[in-house]
Amino acid sequence: MATIRELTYDLLRRNGITTIFGNPGSNELPFLQDFPSDFRYVLALHEGVAIGIADGYAQATGRTALVNLHSAAGTGNAMGGLANAWNSHSPLVVTAGQQTRAMIGIEPLLTNLDATMLPKPLVKWSYEPARAEDVPLAMSRALHLSSLPAAGPVYLSIPYDDWAKTAEPDSLRLLGRTVSAAGALDAGAATALAARLDRSTNPVIILGPDVDAARANAHAVTLAERLAAPVWVAPSAPRCPFPTTHPNFRGLLPASMAGISRLLAGHDLVLVAGAPVFRYHEYESGPLLPDGAELIQITCDPDEACRAPMGDAIVGDVGLILAALAATVCKAARPAPQPRTTPSPVAPGTAPLAAERVLELIAAIAPRDAIYVNESTSTIEAMWERMRWENPGSYYFGAAGGLGFAMPAAIGVQLAEPDRQVIALIGDGSANYSVTALWTAAQHDVPVVFVIMRNGTYGALRWFAGVLKAHGVPALDVPDIDFVAIATGYGLEAVRVETDDAFAAALARAIEGRRPCLIEVATAWTTP
């Protein structure tokens, strides 16, 4: 009979998982010994980077990714990334090694105390098997649970002496199991919902990240066109669910109650698909909805449905429901929305360049199907105004509001999408949270182009200090960081540029070279 370790690798194979992301410690070595030749281990130099790479990979593939962390300390280092994965509905199985069972009771070094409590509330399920023989069932449960709606991370703490134990014969039954979800509306419910949309005189559509995760972007386009409805993207969206070049596209909603209500004024029906209602940030009190408006939410997440403070909610498969609505609603007689007004191009300049100018150069030079992973937080609004995101899976952003997501996530996305160019847009403040990701990109030859927008300050934080009227705040500047030297030290090609022509040439050369590289460009800070 196979060992627990051998059976677990077979279980991973049967579920299509042959890549492991991690930063192992001593407790993880018994699982990794005699590492199978058909598996790939992507090493990160910090646990937060490991989970970020896995998060990007899981989001881009739509499949569960496995993360291998070290005990409690390693899990603690990864908690910021776990927050992003939880809020992004990223399917992850996170394993952490536990001390040998013979010593857990006396709490030696590297014991994971109260292991199941540590990652909560940022996981769907947290478990430490009561006996070694339960490890295969726990792994099987974790694999299925991570991907069922709403997808999300799960956590397993596994004592390191469990791997060598003999598996029970009945555990082989796990290898052939499938677990699937069905979340479509029946014909009657779809017809009733479509009729409600048809009765609206001025509907508006708000789309969130789970539309892109379901690859339902085309259904959203059809629905918007048939309803002749403007389309907004939900506040702080970590993905792009609708083509930014489409005439119905309006932009990114602000993350405030009053701001949203102002922009939705005059609409009698608000259809929200694949997003919470709503994820606010800036406190600007006001009505949750404008007068006379009703709201319908379509979500894959029961918690999102239940916690919404207004409107009706439907929990199901966002893609299937949008497809049904797009095929069922009547074509509206009203005229299509007029295309939004786009900002005027920024004039060429020299150092420091306007961030908007850098974005325009990227949009002009990058392949049309390029993928952007963003952590230049002070330029988010400018990105949504200027960038061409037309294909599913074109944009990723940290969903939890913390920093350190984009550099590792860009590597994971590029591993998942080798035929598309990934460009990571990173602020100089953000870059320091996960700069060791550059080493992993170099070691695995992952051809991400990292663009560091260097303005010497925490731009978004400086802006929010103004919103809060918090004057005299210290520690908002981050001068004198040489990202070219750092990147070179990690093995990347790197260059510093200060002019339009130099940046354009460096970007074109980086894309053509299909090698991991970093471009540091001096930019001026402006209020978002």
Going by the DSSP 8-state scheme, the letter that residue 351 receives in this structure is: S
Q: Which of 22, 25, 208, 404 is catalytic?
A: 25
Please state the φ and ψ torsions of residue 148, each to the nearest 5 degrees: -70, 150
Q: Annotated catalytic residue: which of 22, 28, 219, 393?
A: 28
274 is catalytic: no
What rounded mean pLDDT belongs to the chain? Answer: 93
Q: Which of 62, 183, 311, 401 is catalytic?
A: 401
- Starting at the edge strand found earlier in the chain, the sheet holding 154-159 runs 40-43, 19-22, 65-69, 92-98, 154-159, 126-127
Is 47 strand, coil or helix? helix
| Per-residue confidence (pLDDT) for residue 474, from 0 to 100 | 66
Residue 347 tokens read as 């004039």
Domains present along the chain, CATH in parentheses = 4-176 (3.40.50.970), 187-328 (3.40.50.1220), 353-524 (3.40.50.970)
H helix intervals, 349-458:
355-365, 380-386, 406-416, 428-431, 437-443
Query: Could you report the per-residue pLDDT of 176-223, keeping only the tens digit for each?
Result: 999 999 899 999 999 999 999 999 999 999 999 999 999 999 999 999
Closest-CA residue to 37 (of 11, 1, 70, 9)? 9
pLDDT, tens only, 80-90: 999 999 999 99
Percent of the chain residues topping a pLDDT of 90:
82
183 burial class (0-12, 13-18, 19+ CB within 10 angstroms)? middle
Run of H or E residues at 155: strand 154-159
Residue in 168, 261, 281, 456 annotated catalytic: 281
Model confidence band, residue 257 (pLDDT cutoffs 50, 70, 90):
very high
Instruction: Tell me whether residue 401 is one of the annotated catalytic residues.
Output: yes
Whether 128 is a known active-site residue: answer no
Whole-number Å distance between alpha carbons of 317 and 326: 14
pLDDT in tens, 423-476: 999 998 899 999 999 999 999 999 999 999 987 666 566 555 566 666 666 656
Q: What angle do CA 486, 491, 494 make, to 5 degrees?
A: 60
Asked if 152 is an active-site residue, the reply is no
512 is annotated as an active-site residue: no
Instruction: Kindly tell me if the per-residue pLDDT of 478 is higher than 90.
Output: no
Known active-site residue 46: no
Q: What is the pLDDT of residue 443?
A: 97
High-pLDDT (> 70) share of the chain, %: 95
The residue annotated as part of the active site, out of 48, 52, 56, 70, is 70
Buried b (16+ CB within 10 A) or exposed e, 32-64: beeeeeeeeebbbbbbbbbbbbbbbbbbbbebb
Q: What is the pLDDT of residue 284?
A: 85
**Is 246 tagged catalytic?**
no
* DSSP 8-class letter at 270: E
